[in-house]
């Protein structure tokens, strides 16, 4: 699998199936690509905030690919003409060779559209399994004890963890989250997009190394291969 970071929380997981997660491209000054340049088989959206739902509807309609999200977001994107698949916590959806399981996150999930706020259900994370590799995209979240269960049940090879603070956990709490999850690799996300979420991921390297976990710091557009 190749994991490509587009900045913020936007990732493309490329294997025999291509899964695009939280495609915040337009308005994301760190993104090295444009929405019409991205190829994928399915889009997974963790929650309804604009910096995560992002260009999902545009890409879905352009490529005729479904958006997988919690039921309320699936209803919303369907109302915008996008193909959608609604699910909820504990459920697993199989698309081609990808198995995508929805797990909880601690955050909020309102959708703002034309000065009208829609319910975005509740926020989520995803366990994404492709070609024998398991990735945990935590979404926007604070740390929570059941991350230990997520680690024990799904045994992710890679954890994509937010570290920007203010809206999510910070780097120190992300280290503690990694201790609970016990992945082989941690890739930080949701930081340095704007001044309020500036963070230094290198602060995580030594404590993660002490736990036998490798920190992988990507620049937007860079990738990590497993």
- The 8-class DSSP code of residue 41 comes to S
What average pLDDT score do residues 187-216 get? Answer: 98
Residues 34/11, Cβ–Cβ less than 8 Å: no
Q: Is residue 226 part of a domain?
A: no
* Residue 194 lies in domain: 2-221
CA distance 170 to 48: 21
Q: For 46-102, write each residue's pLDDT tens digit.
A: 999 999 999 999 999 999 999 999 999 999 999 999 999 999 999 999 999 999 999
At 37, the pLDDT band (50, 70, 90 cuts) reads very high
If you search the block for the tokens 């049940």, which residue do you land on? Answer: 153
Distances in whole angstroms, Cα of residue 198 to Cα of each of 87, 150, 166, 171: 33, 27, 10, 10
CATH number of 148's domain: 3.60.15.10
pTM equals: 0.97
Whether residue 116 has pLDDT greater than 70: no
Q: How many domains does the chain have?
A: 1
């Amino acid at each position: 699998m190749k994991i490509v970071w587009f900045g913020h929380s936007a990732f493309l997981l490329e294997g025999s199936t291509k899964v695009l997660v939280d495609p915040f491209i337009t308005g994301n000054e760190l993104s090295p690509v444009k929405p019409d340049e991205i190829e994928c088989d399915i889009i997974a959206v963790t929650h309804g905030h604009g910096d995560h739902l992002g260009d999902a509807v545009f890409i879905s309609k352009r490529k005729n690919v479904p958006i997988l999200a919690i039921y309320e977001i699936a209803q919303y994107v369907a109302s915008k003409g996008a193909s959608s698949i609604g699910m909820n916590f504990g459920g697993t959806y199989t698309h081609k060779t990808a198995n995508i399981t929805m797990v909880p996150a601690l955050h909020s999930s309102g959708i703002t559209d034309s000065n009208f706020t829609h319910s975005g259900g509740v926020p989520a994370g995803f366990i994404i399994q492709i070609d024998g590799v398991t990735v945990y995209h935590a979404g926007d979240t604070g740390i929570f004890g059941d991350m230990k269960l997520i680690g024990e049940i799904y045994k992710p090879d890679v954890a994509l963890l937010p570290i920007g603070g203010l809206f999510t956990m910070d780097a120190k709490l992300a280290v503690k989250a990694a201790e609970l999850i016990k992945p082989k690799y941690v890739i930080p996300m949701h930081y340095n997009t704007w001044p309020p979420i500036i963070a230094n991921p290198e602060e995580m390297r030594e404590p993660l190394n002490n736990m036998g976990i490798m920190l992988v710091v990507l620049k937007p557009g860079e990738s990590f291969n497993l």
